[in-house]
């Protein structure tokens, strides 16, 4: 594989080992995502995929014991979540949080205020929100509801996609954005990804078992994680191979390597 020019490289994870409490989860993980590229991260349940996403986002639940994370030419290994978000990182969570008492609109305004590069004040904010809500088939009354409380899985996903389109990050990590969603909600996710790509040509790291949302995307690299190790990397064709043959080959190879 040819190495991307330094200026093309957006995220570079080098030899990262990470733990939660006493539990070592990630072992010597190295991977990189170039500007505007689409990468897919696959692996059996419990492999450490979500952990890698959280570690890149700087979640305080995890400790990076070794290695470095560089994003947009800056070492962010010990940066906080907010700084990473301002630098252009975004992650959509498998289980989004509920914040009772905070209306969605206040929440969105607070996030926008933290990203002063966005230039979305006053009328421009309103106009952009209205535009995105229309793109995602969202009723404007959503804005007055408490954040995620009583929202269905599909509605929560729409709100995350709204955030994605509002923030236009340089890299969006989508963690099992498709799990448990019905066909209509999957369609919204696909449309949001297409709108994100066409509005800012942002990069994507998609964690998924589901090929439906990958169908219309041109995948640059696929990474396979087993037991906290990245064990294989390949083209977009690897997604089809895994869907056909499962993870058996990778698990056997990982076990052989670890003996
Ligand atoms: N905050 C945490 N505390 C303790 N164990 C965790 C924590 N987060 C993840 N784990 C454990 O780390 C392993 C990898 O989890 P996860 O990254 O969620 O896997 P995946 O997303 O690939 O299904 C699992 O064994 C999980 O139980
Ligand atoms: Mg997960």
pLDDT at residue 4, rounded to an integer: 47
- 98 or 206, which is more confident: 206
CA of 44 to the centre of ligand 2 (A): 9
Q: Which residues lie across from 26 on neighbouring strands?
A: 18
pLDDT in tens, 41-51: 999 999 999 99
SS (H, E, C) 200-248: HCCEEEEECCCCHHHCCCCCCEEEEEECCEEEEEECCHHHHHHHHHCCH
Does residue 103 come out as left (phi exceeding 0), alpha (psi in the -120 to 50 range) or beta? beta
Domains of the chain by residue range = 6-258
Q: What is the DSSP letter of 220?
A: S
Tell me which residue has its CA closest to atom 7 in ligand 1.
20
Res 7 pLDDT > 70: no
The verdict on domain 6-258 having CATH code 3.40.50.300 is yes
Q: Are residues 219 and 39 in contact, defined by beta-carbon separation less than 8 angstroms? A: yes
* Index of the ligand 1 atom closest to the CA of residue 44: 22
Contact 31, 224 (CB under 8 A): no
> What's the whole-number average pLDDT of the chain?
89
Asked whether the predicted pLDDT for residue 224 surpasses 80, the reply is yes
Residues with CB under 5 A from ligand 2 (ion): 50
Q: What percent of the chain has pLDDT over 90?
A: 63
What is the structure's pLDDT at 89?
96
> What does the pLDDT read at residue 95?
55
- Taking the CA of 43 as reference, the closest ligand is 1
Supply the pLDDT for residue 94: 52
The pTM assigned to this predicted structure is 0.92
Query: What's the pLDDT score for residue 208?
Result: 85
In this prediction, residue 93 has a pLDDT band, given cuts at 50, 70 and 90, of low
Which ligand lies nearest to the CA atom of residue 25 in the structure?
1
Ligand 2 geometric centre to CA of 57 (Å) = 14
Tokens representing 227 are 């037991």
Q: How many whole angstroms separate alpha carbon 243 and alpha carbon 128?
A: 38
In a mutational test of the pocket of ligand 1, which residue from 20, 208, 231 has the highest number of ligand atoms less than 8 Å from its CB? 20
> How many whole angstroms from 85 Cα to the centroid of ligand 2?
20
Which residue's alpha carbon is nearest to atom 9 within ligand 1? 51
> Residue 254: its pLDDT value, please?
83
Q: Which two tokens stand for residue 9?
A: 């490289």
Least confident of 53-57, 110-114, 160-164, 192-196: 110-114
pLDDT at 2: 47
Measured distance CA(57)–CA(84) in Å, rounded: 7
Give CA–CA dist 235/39, Å, rounded.
9
Cβ(16)–Cβ(192) under 8 Å? no
Element (H, E) at 17: strand 9-20
pLDDT band at 183 (very low <50, low <70, confident <90, very high): confident
Cross-strand partners of 147: 99
Q: How many angstroms separate the alpha carbon of residue 258 from the centre of ligand 1?
A: 20
Contacts of residue 55, defined as CB under 8 A and 6 or more positions apart, other chains included, come to 16, 18, 26, 62, 64, 69
Which pLDDT score is estimated for 40? 97
Contact 170, 90 (CB under 8 A): no
Render pLDDT for 149-177 as a digit per residue (tens, 0 to 9): 788 878 888 888 999 999 999 999 999 87
Query: What letter would DSSP give residue 60?
Result: T
Instruction: Give the residue-averaged pLDDT of 202-224.
Output: 90
- Which of 48, 91, 92 most suits a substitution to test ligand 1, by most atoms within 8 Å of the C-beta? 48
Is residue 119 within 8 A of residue 87, CB to CB? The reply is no
Percent of the chain at pLDDT > 70 equals: 94
Residues with C-beta less than 6 Å from any ligand 1 atom: 20-21, 23, 25, 43, 45-51, 61
Instruction: Give 111's pLDDT tier (boundaries 50, 70, 90).
Output: confident
> In the chain, helix, strand, coil percent, each to 5?
40, 30, 30
Residue 96: is its pLDDT beyond 70? Answer: no
Q: What value does the mean pLDDT take over residues 114-127?
A: 88
More confident of the two residues 144 and 177: 144
Token code pair at residue 86: 């301002």
Task: Give the nearest ligand 1 atom to 175 CA.
Answer: 21
Rounded to 10 deg, the angle between the 153-167 and 104-114 helix axes is 30
């Amino acid at each position: 594989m040819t190495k991307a020019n330094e200026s093309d490289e957006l995220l570079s994870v080098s030899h990262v080992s990470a733990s939660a409490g006493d539990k070592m989860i990630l072992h010597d993980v190295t991977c990189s995502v170039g500007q505007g590229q689409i990468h897919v991260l696959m692996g059996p349940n419990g492999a450490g995929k979500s952990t890698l996403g959280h570690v890149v986002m700087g979640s305080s639940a995890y400790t990076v014991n070794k290695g470095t994370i560089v994003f947009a030419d800056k070492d962010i290994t010990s940066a906080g979540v907010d700084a990473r978000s301002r630098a252009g990182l975004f992650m959509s969570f498998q289980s989004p949080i509920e914040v009772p008492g905070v209306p969605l609109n206040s929440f969105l305004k607070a996030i926008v205020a933290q990203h002063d590069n966005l230039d979305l004040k006053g009328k421009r904010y309103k106009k952009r929100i209205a535009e995105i809500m229309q793109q995602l088939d969202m009723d404007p009354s959503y804005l007055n509801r408490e954040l995620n409380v009583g929202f269905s899985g599909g509605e929560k996903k729409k709100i995350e996609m709204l955030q994605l389109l509002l923030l236009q990050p340089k890299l969006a990590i989508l963690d099992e954005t498709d799990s448990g969603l019905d066909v209509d909600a999957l369609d919204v996710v696909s449309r949001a990804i297409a709108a994100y790509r066409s509005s800012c040509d942002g990069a994507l790291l998609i964690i998924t078992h589901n090929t439906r949302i990958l169908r219309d995307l041109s995948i640059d690299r696929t990474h396979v994680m087993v037991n906290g190790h990245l064990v294989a990397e390949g083209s977009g064709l690897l997604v089809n191979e895994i869907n056909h043959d499962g993870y058996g080959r990778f698990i056997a190879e990982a076990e052989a390597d670890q003996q």
